[in-house]
């Protein structure tokens, strides 16, 4: 169990997109583009700032919409500092995420390393997230633990079904 736990504090994702490396880079680093995909569902992004330089700030606020029932209006900021900016290949930032009004108890700290590689048919994206600190109430925080878990899985399944791809997580 411990081994699982230790391994899982480091999350690693790999995706291939049939898009140019520049397009993927812009989607990750342009505030307007980030707003359109950062999600998850049933949320809006009322604030999104990206100061793309080492030492610059990234701040994205996710807000629950009416569709999220009693969570409507809840805001989950993520704020971080870029530690590495090498367009269009590498981007790293240290960040904190929390539930507005519960910063003391809900803050999660994480480091994020994004790597983009050009491939013959598009771009390979590798994302490594290391969770370094979790506040006591974090499981109810930004990432929709309580309300979103099921909804996210549903969305994922729908997406995969639509794509004609049966592989679910």
Partner 1 sequence: MQAAVFGALGEPSRLQIVELLRRGPHGVGEIAEALGLRQPQVSKHLKVLDRLGIVDVEARARRRIYHLRAEPFDEIAHWVDSFEHLWEVRLDALGEHLRTHATDTTREDDQ
Sites of contact with partner 1 (CB under 8 A): 1-2, 4-5, 8-9, 11, 13, 15, 17-19, 23-24, 26-28, 30, 33, 36-41, 125, 127, 129, 131, 133-136, 138-139, 143-145, 148-149, 152-153, 155-156, 159, 169
**Least separation in angstroms between CB 77 and partner 1:** 15
Residue 157, beta-bridge partner list: none
**Least separation in angstroms between CB 147 and partner 1:** 11
- Closer to partner 1 by Cβ: residue 54 or 87: 87
Would you call 82 exposed, middle or buried from its count of C-beta atoms within 10 A (0-12, 13-18, 19+)? buried
- Closer to partner 1 by Cβ: residue 34 or 82: 34
**Least separation in angstroms between CB 23 and partner 1:** 5
**Least separation in angstroms between CB 33 and partner 1:** 7
Dist CA 78 CA 95 (whole Å): 7
């Amino acid at each position: 169990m411990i081994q699982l736990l230790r391994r899982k504090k480091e999350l690693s994702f790999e995706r291939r997109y049939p898009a140019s490396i520049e397009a993927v880079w812009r989607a990750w680093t342009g505030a307007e583009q980030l707003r359109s995909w950062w999600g998850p569902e049933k949320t809006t992004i009322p604030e999104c700032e990206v100061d793309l330089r080492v030492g610059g700030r990234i701040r994205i606020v996710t807000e629950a919409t009416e569709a999220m029932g009693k969570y409507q209006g809840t805001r989950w900021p993520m704020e971080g500092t870029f530690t590495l900016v090498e367009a269009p290949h590498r981007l790293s930032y240290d960040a904190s995420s929390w539930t507005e009004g519960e910063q003391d108890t809900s803050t999660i700290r994480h480091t994020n390393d994004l790597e983009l590689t050009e491939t013959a048919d598009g771009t390979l994206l590798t994302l490594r997230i290391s969770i370094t600190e979790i506040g006591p109430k974090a499981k109810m925080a930004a990432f929709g633990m309580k309300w979103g878990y099921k909804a996210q899985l549903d969305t994922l399944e729908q997406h995969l079904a639509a794509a004609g791809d049966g592989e679910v997580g």
